[in-house]
Amino acid sequence: MESNITIPKHIGIIMDGNGRWAKKRLLPRNMGHKKGAEVFQDITRYCNELGLEAVTFYAFSTENWKRPKDEVDGIMKLFKEYLITAFDYEKENNKIIFLGDKSAFSGELLDLMEEIETKTADRTGMILNIAINYGSRNEMVHACKKIAQDVKNGKMDVNDINEDTFSSFLYTKNQPDPDFILRPSGEKRLSNFLLWQSAYSEFVYMDVLWPDFTRKNLDEAILEFNKRNRRFGGV
C-alpha cells in the first residue's frame, strides 16, 4: 500500500458469493463457505497488518436461517471450528465481538462465543466484529426495547434519547461507524447490514466472488475509497 493512502478506520465486509463460487466448480455450496472462511481469516490478518481500528464481517444474517438445514448446519460447523482452532485468540491482540442476537445460540457455541468475548475484552488491538444472527432491523428493535425498559424503570429520561444514546444501545456500541462497506460478488444491496451505522459510509461493490477475494482486492477497494470525496452533508 502506498504511503499517501488513507487507511480506513473501520470497514464492513459482506462476504457474498460463496454459493456461486461452489456452483461454478460443481461443488456443494458448503465448499464455497469453507473457502470463504479461509479468505475471512486471511483478510482479517491483512486488516491487522494495515492497522485498521475495526473490521466487521457479515457471517450470518437473521434471514439466513431460511436456507436448507444442511447448509445452515455446515456454516455453524465451520463457525465453531474457527472458534475452537483458527482464531488463535491467545496470540493475536484482536478484541473479538459477536454482533447479533445471541439468544438463538446455546450450548458449546454460545459458551465459546462468550469465552472469546470475555478473554479478548481488554485487548488493545483491532476490533474484530463477527455479525452472526445479525440483522439491522432486529438490532434497532432490540435497542428500542432496552431503551423503553430503562425509561419505564426510571433509569433513563425520554429527553436523554438522542443519536448518541441510541447508538450506545446497538451491538456496535463505542465503536467508530464504518468508513466504507464492501460487498464483493456483484450484488449491490445492503441486505439489512449496519443500516444505522452506515449513514455516511461509502459503498464499494466489486465483481469478485468472496472465495476468490484477495489482499490485492482489498487494496483496490481502499484505493477506490480514497478517490471518494466525503462531505458528511457539508459542501
Residues that bind ligand FPP (CB under 6 A): 15-20, 33, 36-37, 40, 57, 59-60, 64, 75, 78-79, 82, 130
Q: Print the SS3 string covering 143-177.
A: HHHHHHHHHHCCCCCHHHCCHHHHHCCCCCCCCCC
Minimum distance, C-beta of residue 6 to ligand FPP, in the bound complex (Å): 27
Within 10 angstroms of residue 42's Cβ, the number of other Cβ atoms is 13
Instruction: For ligand FPP, give the closer residue by CB, 180 or 213.
Output: 213
C-alpha cell at 184: 464483493
Residue 128 CA to residue 151 CA, distance in Å, equals 32
129 included as an active-site residue: no
The grid coordinates listed for 233 are 452533508
Least distance in Å: CB of 8 to ligand FPP?
Answer: 20
Cβ 38 to ligand FPP shortest distance, Å: 9
Residue pointed to by grid coordinates 443500516: 195
What are 103's three cell numbers?
Answer: 439468544
Nearer to ligand FPP, 40 or 89 (CB): 40
Q: Considering Cα of 75, then 78, then 83, then 87, what sign does the dihedral take?
A: negative
Candidate list 4, 30, 42, 64, residue with the active-site label: 64
Please, which residue, 9 or 67, has the CB nearer to ligand FPP? 67
Report the residue number, 160 or 187, with the smaller CB distance to ligand FPP: 187
Q: Could you tell me the smallest distance in angstroms from the CB atom of residue 149 to ligand FPP?
A: 31
Q: Is 64 a catalytic residue?
A: yes
Residues that are catalytic = 16, 64
